[in-house]
Amino acid sequence: MSDQTPLAAMTLAREIVNSLPDVESRPLGENKVELVVPRDHLREVVAHIDATLEDAFPESAFGVDLGDGEFEVVYVFWSQVHRLLCQLRVRLKEPDLVVDSVCDIFPGLEWHERETHEMFGIDFRGHPDLRPLLLPDELVGKYPLRKSFKTDRSRVAESGLAQPRPRRQAQRGTPTGETAGAGDRQAGGETQ
């Protein structure tokens, strides 16, 4: 635990907005803040978080398809010492789905950026390894977390998911619709 006074989320946001006026901030709750960061300032903001919060932990990074060709990349940072959460949102619009990678600042984000690239088609400039991580070969380049992605359910059998069975109509008796017959009873009146 640090001996210094905990930093308030809005203080961190004010420092960033004062140095980069294009960044917008809004409180999310008790010691939580969201910053909407233009793509050109992402690295500066992440570097500021790294320099200011001695225990900055990148919880996650992920993509969001907002529809109509608009996307966001969201980064979430946590500081245990300051009990502070800072969420960054970078807005992108097709066809220019490119943002600078920050995995050289926080190496733990390398796989998060790689997965976001694979699932949404967002490129991370400067990322050392954007090869496919999760998808089978025939889905590479199809971006399955985009709203425009259509599935034909042809791969359900491979997925291990069971095909839906038709429902039987329940009758009075048991929840499955079966009724206990006289032959199903043992001595003492219990069913098998």
pLDDT per residue over 58-76, tens digit each?
999 999 999 999 999 999 9
Contact between 97 and 145 (Cβ < 8 Å): no
pLDDT at residue 8 greater than cutoff 70: yes
What domain range is 49 assigned to? 9-153
User: 71 in a domain, yes or no?
Assistant: yes
Query: What gap in Å lies between CA 23 and CA 21, rounded to an integer?
Result: 5
Q: What is the DSSP letter of 37?
A: -
> Residue 123 — left, alpha, or beta (φ > 0 → left; ψ -120 to 50 → alpha)?
beta
Instruction: List the CATH number of the domain containing 90.
Output: 3.30.460.80
Q: How many helices (H) and strands (E) does the chain have?
A: 4, 7
What confidence category does residue 133 fall into, taking pLDDT thresholds of 50, 70 and 90?
Answer: confident
Q: Which two tokens stand for residue 52?
A: 């200011």
* Domain count for the chain: 1
What is the structure's pLDDT at 49? 98
Reported pTM: 0.77
β-pair type (84-93, 70-79): antiparallel
User: 86 in a domain, yes or no?
Assistant: yes
**Per DSSP, what are the bridge partners of residue 34?**
26, 87
User: 95 in a domain, yes or no?
Assistant: yes
User: 50 in a domain, yes or no?
Assistant: yes
Query: What gap in Å lies between CA 27 and CA 35, rounded to an integer?
Result: 9
What confidence category does residue 184 fall into, taking pLDDT thresholds of 50, 70 and 90?
Answer: very low
Query: What average pLDDT does the structure give for the chain?
Result: 86
With the C-alpha atoms ordered 91, 96, 100, 106, is the resulting torsion angle positive or negative? positive
For the stretch 78-132, pLDDT in tens is 999 999 999 999 999 999 999 999 999 999 999 999 999 999 999 999 999 999 8
What confidence category does residue 2 fall into, taking pLDDT thresholds of 50, 70 and 90?
Answer: very low
